[in-house]
Structure 1
Amino acid sequence: MPKRVPAWLWAGCFVCFLIAGSANSVSAQGTTTDEPSTQSVDHSASPPDEKPRRTYLGRIVAQPMGHQGAPWLIRDNRDDEENASDSFVQLQLTEGMVVCDLGCGNGYWTLPMAKKVGESGRVLAVDIQREMLQKLRVRSAKAKLRNIEPILGKVDNPNLPLGELDLVLMVDVYHEFSHPESMLWHLHRALKPTGVIALLEYREEDPSVPIKPLHKMSKNQIMKEYQRNHFKLVKEYNMLPWQHLMFFARDDSPLESIDPIPAKQVLEALP
């Protein structure tokens, strides 16, 4: 049975999780029940004219977590629960890379990313909550990291430069996007031809993962949404205790696409 959420975390925030909740925060609550159009997104034109969504391609869009839950993001046992250090290795960051932590929160991932890409690299840290960005500034100043660029995003636009990013990291946040097509349209344009999105989402296929169903995603749903928006799967890592880790490139990228390993096979192989 899922563990009860500590009472302090419920007070004053949009808590949408049980034991682990949402790991970062960027999005907004959908305000309509419109279904997605069947028209493909044209990445050579303007962003799709998209309304906030309650559902997207059959998935209910989850509500985001408020900044009051920020202490949860940097809890001491997070790595024990999610094996985040293993995920970090899979990002394969190197000196000089230009990367983005989308839904950065107070910087659990941002700070180690900045250390890894070094002074010659950049980390664009995006969140839609000013309070989160302020918490990030305090933590990055204390760590004396000067290669972090906080960016106030919008619910339909992360405000990223065109064609500069080697990697965009989204940790347990994509499922909260109220404007998924618009966000993916902008990310498609922000990536370099060989750039990738590293997507971490709690596994819907695994009932033992102690997260509310609305904050999980299945591999099938992820593939449906990313292929729909002109991305292809180029890598995946399936040995995390709670999450899928999937890497997507633009569909016109020279990187070779792969087929996802079936979730049932993944669960059977886990220790």
Structure 2
Amino acid sequence: MPSIRLRHCRTSYTHRTLPVLLVCLSALMLLSPASGDAAAQAAAADTRYESVRRSPDGIGKRYMGREIAGVMGWEGAQWLERESRAREERPELLLPELALAPGMTVADIGAGTGYYTWQLAKLVGPGGRVYAVDVQPEMIGMLDSQMAKRGVRNVVSVLGSETTVKLPRASVDLAIMVDVYHELAYPAEVLDSIVDALKPGGRVVFVEYRAEDPAVAIKPLHKMSERQIRREATAHGLKWERSIKSLPIQHAVVFRKP
């Protein structure tokens, strides 16, 4: 629930401000204890972030030393389905490294139009399931259309929020984020919700353009170093398992929930 700002409240009161104070108190009384707790939790969570001067590709918010990149809107969805993507990213190299098996449950976080979703769905088979999570309803609409066009029946689309993936607790064998994590406005909260959705021993895979490689022609805020990925993931109790370095311009860093 978004926080409610009482713009006319003050910290000192006179007979002139008393009517305003009463209005403010009335507004506060409308909040249930549960919503008050949620607001308090949100305020506490915000202390994990630092406001900075906004750079051209960022949102003016820093987490663990890096500025968060601006999200790609649904208007740019065509870029996700560009013809050159398979050649640039080589999904045929990444997917076998995930060691997926029929019957598994996978979460494609920030699934967009479903470029990887349908490929994951094939690997887990009819007895498996892929949760395709995105925060933009327009992306979800395009993804559903793509799955219907391909005849994919084991994908469940989920409209998440900026702070949670909205998946059942301990339901997922593997969660994957492809070129997504660096754009999360609330990475700490989202990662907490992903960890909560993982089964014990479940894995999280971060796929990001390599910040260590200046030859990767991607804007700096849309790349992440392995060191930064490991720093942020381990802060949430995840254990580094291995790093996949066979991709042309990305790395995939794999973590496991203890």
> Fold-level match, TM-score > 0.5?
yes
Distance 2:203 2:44 in 1: 25
Aligned equivalent of 2:94: 87
Distance 2:89 2:124 in 1: 23
Aligned equivalent of 2:249: 242
- Determine what percentage of the aligned residue pairs are the same residue: 42
Q: What are structure 2's unaligned runs of at least 5 residues?
A: 1-40, 50-60
Distance 1:47 1:167 in 2: 27
3-state DSSP of counterpart to 1:87 = helix
Q: CA deviation at 1:169?
A: 0.8
Paired positions, count: 206
Alpha-carbon distance change, 174 to 48 in structure 1, aligned in 2, over 3 angstroms = farther
Q: CA deviation at 1:240?
A: 1.0
Distance 1:180 1:140 in 2: 28
Q: CA deviation at 1:49?
A: 3.9
Matched, 1:147 2:154: yes
Matched, 1:65 2:65: no
3-state DSSP of counterpart to 1:61 = strand
Q: Residue 165 of structure 2 contacts residue 190 of structure 2 at CA under 8 Å; is this kept in 1?
A: yes
Deviations 1:124-170 (A, max 9, x none): 00000000010011111111111110000000001011001010010
Q: Residue 105 of structure 1 contacts residue 136 of structure 1 at CA under 8 Å; is this kept in 2?
A: yes
**AA partner of residue 151 (structure 1):** V
Aligned equivalent of 2:173: 166
Distance 1:145 1:240 in 2: 27
Q: CA deviation at 1:197?
A: 0.5
Matched, 1:117 2:112: no
Q: Residue 50 of structure 1 contacts residue 179 of structure 1 at CA under 8 Å; is this kept in 2?
A: no
Aligned equivalent of 2:45: 50
Alpha-carbon distance change, 123 to 48 in structure 1, aligned in 2, over 3 angstroms = farther
Distance 2:44 2:254 in 1: 26
Matched, 1:198 2:205: yes
Structure whose residues are more often helix by fraction? 2
Matched, 1:218 2:225: yes
Distance 1:82 1:188 in 2: 26
Aligned equivalent of 2:115: 108
Q: CA deviation at 1:50?
A: 2.0
Q: CA deviation at 1:113?
A: 0.9
**AA partner of residue 224 (structure 2):** M
Q: Residue 206 of structure 2 contacts residue 229 of structure 2 at CA under 8 Å; is this kept in 1?
A: no
Distance 1:247 1:48 in 2: 31
Aligned equivalent of 2:191: 184
The structure with higher relative contact order (CA 8 Å, sep 6+) is 1
TM-score (normalised: structure 1): 0.73
Q: CA deviation at 1:47?
A: 8.6
Q: What are structure 1's unaligned runs of at least 5 residues?
A: 1-45, 254-271
Runs of 4+ in 1 over 4 A off after TM superposition: none
Alpha-carbon distance change, 195 to 98 in structure 1, aligned in 2, over 3 angstroms = same
Distance 1:168 1:48 in 2: 27
Distance 2:141 2:230 in 1: 34
Distance 1:82 1:96 in 2: 26
TM-score (normalised: structure 2): 0.77
Alpha-carbon distance change, 93 to 101 in structure 1, aligned in 2, over 3 angstroms = same
2:239 to 227, 232, 235: 232
Distance 1:87 1:191 in 2: 21
Aligned equivalent of 1:76: 83
Alpha-carbon distance change, 47 to 113 in structure 1, aligned in 2, over 3 angstroms = farther
Distance 2:157 2:239 in 1: 28
**AA partner of residue 108 (structure 1):** Y
